[in-house]
Amino acid sequence: MQHFALTIIGRDRPGIVSQVTEILYRLGCNIADSSCSILGGQFSMILIVSSPQINAAEDFGEAFAPLEESNLSVFIRTLRPGGERRPEMDGELCMISVYGADQPGIVYRVAKELGDRQINITDLNTKLIGDESRPVYVMMIEALLPEGIEVEEVEGWMTELKQQLQVDISVRSLLAVEL
């Protein structure tokens, strides 16, 4: 079965998820994986979908025209076989939280620290909270620690970075729950 990456972005409003999933349901599509978020005032959504009746991106035809007519941008990409499957990833899953005054370079500096140590970032979200007079930058990272690297080591590596950036960084283990 062919899989597709479907990306949708546009000004946020209630009902977008319902509208998108109704179209996919009517097409007989299965949603294998998805992520939705509001970035600034823009709603963004990426899904990995499949359908036994659809073999190429062109087969979607005008199905997403109502979305585009409501000012959403829709992009469909055909995935190569196996592109829908998450690779097996061994290691300990952890959550890294960063809080501090908004400034350029926070994401880069933390991501570089992790990347230099071959730590895979599996999810990353940022946002400003608080009010205009006291905005606080918040970053949440889900990361996979390679075998042999402990949460305490990551906390140690972040100590100098915390001082340089004047932010709070905490690292905690996320225990996987099997059903």
pLDDT digits (tens, 9 = 90+) for 115-174: 999 999 989 999 988 888 888 999 999 999 998 999 999 999 999 999 999 999 999 998
CA angle 100, 104, 110 (to 5 degrees): 65
Fold assignment, 92-173: Alpha-Beta Plaits (3.30.70)
CATH code given to domain 3-78: 3.30.70.260
- Matching fold, domains 3-78 and 92-173: yes
CB atoms within 10 A of CB 114: 19
The pTM of this model reads: 0.75
At residue 42, does pLDDT exceed 90? yes
Q: pLDDT class for 92, splitting at 50, 70, 90?
A: confident
Cβ-proximal residues to 63 (8 Å cutoff; 6+ apart), any chain: 23, 26, 27
At residue 38, does pLDDT exceed 50? yes
Say what the pLDDT of residue 135 is: 86
Q: pLDDT class for 179, splitting at 50, 70, 90?
A: very low
Which residue would you say has higher pLDDT here, 84 or 101? 101
- For the segment 30-48, the average pLDDT, to the nearest whole number, is 92
49-56 contacts at long range (C-beta below 8 A, 24 or more positions apart): 49/3, 49/4, 49/6, 49/24, 50/1, 50/2, 50/3, 50/4, 50/84, 51/1, 51/2, 51/27, 52/1, 52/28, 53/27, 53/28, 54/2, 54/4, 54/27, 54/28, 54/29, 55/2, 56/2
pLDDT digits (tens, 9 = 90+) for 14-32: 999 999 999 999 999 999 9
- For the segment 74-99, the average pLDDT, to the nearest whole number, is 83
Say what the pLDDT of residue 176 is: 57
Q: Return the domain boundaries, the chain.
A: 3-78, 92-173
